[in-house]
Every structure is written in structure tokens, then in C-alpha cells.
Amino acid sequence: MRRMAVPMQQTIAGRAVVQGFGYWSGRDVRVEFRPAAAGSGVTFVRSDLGSQARAPARVEWRVEAPRRSNLRFGRVEVDMVEHVMAALAGLNIDNCEVWVDQPEMPGCDGSAAAFVDALLRVGIVQQGTEAVCLRVSEPVRVTEGDCWIEARPSAKGEFQIEYQLDYPRCRTIGRQVARIVLTPDRFRSELAPCRTFVLQSEADALKEQGLGRRVTSRDLLVFSDDGPIDNRLRFPNECARHKALDVLGDLALAGRRIVGEITAHRSGHRLHAELTKALVERFATSPLRASA
């Protein structure tokens, strides 16, 4: 019988830069991805606070916030990390330092494409150390009302995500399903370009609160009853695909490559984090570093 190749840990070959502004804060921000040693995982470094202001990208340091995933490690806070984490996980980059000069990551076009393009430009290198995997060996589900997300074993040893979206408040979104077996190539073409979305009424309410004032309908998908305003969909089910992207980014806070089948129904960042915690508690077979 032919043995499957053992995946190796990976980092990037050089420094990659992405610049933009935070959707929530409106502040300009510069992100610089840097290579990191095998076994070090992903660490955010707040360069505006000094080179020792570090936050490990781990689910135990996640703090609850509306519509996004934030981290807090001591005095160090980083906000809206899910798209950066999705880009790294989708490309199987295990070790990386993410240097930022503001708390909030840039929204770019609401997808992970800008991060993916920057990382691929500098290249990805293997590190000669076996990748740390989390293999789902029995079903795990977390539920809140009629929203849920579950993990099941994969008979083929794959990482698959299915997202079931049901958005009755907007008929042009409605019900959608996105399903993908994750490989770097498929992630790059099928998930990374998929943008976040809000209803026009939600966008207006946020701006009334003083949030997102710099964001326009060309920076992400804003839906009226007639569809996206000043924008075109990249996929008919782009909204469900973006939700699958969020699932990937949130699960990446496990700090390990996941082998299993994930199915989510109307779930959000909080439920994703609860599943990630449950998976780490049940199936993590090797410890990670406790701090940056």
C-alpha cells in the first residue's frame, strides 16, 4: 500500500506587505508578514507598541466582538484577524509573524485575496519539520438556537468546509450553500476572493454609531433588496463562500492543520470559536507554545 506523504511545516520566503484601512476604525494600517521558525505558529506583533508586543494567534486569546474575531494577550490587542488567518491557513503556512502598526487589520476588499496575493509573491518554503495536525475522530457539534456548526471525521483524510446560509431578510441573498475541499489551489481560486457582506440597513446603522464611515459600497458587498450596490458578485453564492472563509479563519486559531469535515448552518464567529476550543480540547495530541 502506498503511504501518504507526511506534510511539512511551512513559512514564507521573505517579507510581504499589505496596506489598507480598518473597516471599523477607519485608520490606515500596514501589515508585514515575516518568516518564522518551525514550531512557532502564527504571532501578531504590534510594532506601534514595540517588538515585544506580541499576541499568539490562538483561540484561548480570542475575545468576543460583534461581526469579527479579535485577540487580546495581556496589553496587546489585534482586531478582525479572521481574513489574515484564513489566508495563512488556506495556503498551509504554519509559521509566520504578522507585524501591524494598528490594532485592526485592513479590510481591503472584504476578502482574503490581498493577503494571499502578497504571500504568494514572496513564496512559501518547507521547514523540514512535520506539520502539527488536529484529526477529528468523532462528531462534535455546538449549537445556539437554530444555528450550529459541527465537525466529523474525514474518511479521505481531507479538510472540507460546507456552509449553509439562510438569509431571509434579503431575498437576493436568500439560501445558499458553499462546499469546498481545502487545498491551496482551490482556496486561492474559490474562497480567497469572496467578500464580506452587509445589508444596506445594517451599514447605515453602523455609520450612525460612528463605525465604518470610511467604507463604501465598492469596498465590500452592500445589499439592497435589488442586490449588491455599485458592485457585482464574483460567484452566485459568494455570500456563502465568504462565510466558509470566515469558518476557515476562525478554525485556524486552533494553531494546527485540521483534518475533518466541517458543516456550518447559519453560524457566526462565536460559534466557530466554541467549536475550535472543543476540537483543541478533544483532539489536540501535541502541545503548542503557551505564549509568544
**What percent of the chain is modeled with pLDDT above 70?**
96
Catalytic residue among 83, 242, 265, 269: 269
> Structural domains in the chain?
8-132 (3.30.230.20)
User: Closest Cα partner for 269 from 289, 249, 290?
Assistant: 249
Could you read off the pLDDT of 138-152 as tens digits, one per residue?
999 999 999 999 999
pTM of model > 0.85: yes
User: Closest Cα partner for 249 from 58, 118, 132, 81?
Assistant: 81
**Position 168 confidence tier, pLDDT thresholds 50, 70, 90:** confident
Could you read off the pLDDT of 179-200 as tens digits, one per residue?
999 999 999 999 999 999 988 8
Q: Give the pLDDT mean for 225-232.
A: 90
Q: Give the pLDDT mean for 61-85.
A: 94
Please indicate whether residue 203 or residue 59 has the higher confidence score (pLDDT): 59
Q: Give dist(CA 122, CA 290) in Å, integer.
A: 29
Q: How far from each other are the two terminal CA atoms of the chain, in whole angstroms?
A: 41
Catalytic site includes residue 269: yes
Q: Give dist(CA 20, CA 157) in Å, integer.
A: 37
Q: Give dist(CA 32, CA 289) in Å, integer.
A: 22
- For the purposes of burial, counting CB atoms within 10 Å of the CB of 152, is it exposed (0-12), middle (13-18) or buried (19 or more)? middle
- For the purposes of burial, counting CB atoms within 10 Å of the CB of 65, is it exposed (0-12), middle (13-18) or buried (19 or more)? middle
Could you read off the pLDDT of 3-14 as tens digits, one per residue?
557 899 999 999
Amino acid 1: pLDDT = 41
**Position 2 confidence tier, pLDDT thresholds 50, 70, 90:** very low
